Amino acid sequence: MTPPPSGPVCAGASTAATATRSGSGSGPAPYAAYPSFTSYVRARGPVLLRTARSLTANHSDAEDLLQTALTKTYVAWERIEDHRALDGYVRRALLNTRTSQWRKRKVDEFACDEVPEPLGLPAPDPAERQALHDAMWRAVMKLPDRQRAMVVLRYYEDLSEAQTAEVLGVSVGTVKSAVSRALGKLREDPELSPVR
């Protein structure tokens, strides 16, 4: 968004303030500066609100838009030397703010026919996971020592059949048959029946 002018605003951008002529001199006519920001808003608020309404269809959005533009004007109030340019300054702020809102909404908001489904499945209940882990470990502990060692190496330590055979000093065939029997016993364990 292009910010409103940061330096002194040039004369002649708007004729918001009423020019008052004093005397019959031939020099440029002096103008009545707004004594305060509040006096400017009171005097020009309705006109500026109409401008904001022309930039957005919703009355509440127009009020918000004008409020934002007036806030920017208030911040720059001391730098605006020519009060005849105030309306131009506020209009520029209105346009810049509205353009910024439009660009942001174009990126962030989009219409769709259906509400998108949440990504992924909900995480399992930690208590249920712990209960299953405990039941599985109790079932493994019921296995004969040799089978239990092979199951632990294969599935808890994630070793291959060859690595398990090497660690235990047995053949790969022995590992395969022992692990197969151990898995059969685990499938029959009553504590693990809900998992089957």
pLDDT single digits (tens) 75-98: 888 888 787 788 888 888 888 888
195 three-class SS: helix
Mean pLDDT along residues 56-68: 85
The phi, psi pair for 31, rounded to 5°, reads -125, 160
Which stretches within the chain are classed as H helix? 37-55, 59-75, 86-108, 126-141, 145-151, 161-168, 172-188
Say what the pLDDT of residue 177 is. Answer: 93
Distance CA 113, CA 101 (A): 24
The answer to whether residue 15 scores a pLDDT higher than 70 is no
Task: Give the lowest-confidence range in 105-109, 112-116, 151-155.
Answer: 105-109
Bridge partners, 31 (sequence order): 19
87 contacts 14 by C-beta, under 8 angstroms:
yes
pLDDT at 187 over 80: yes
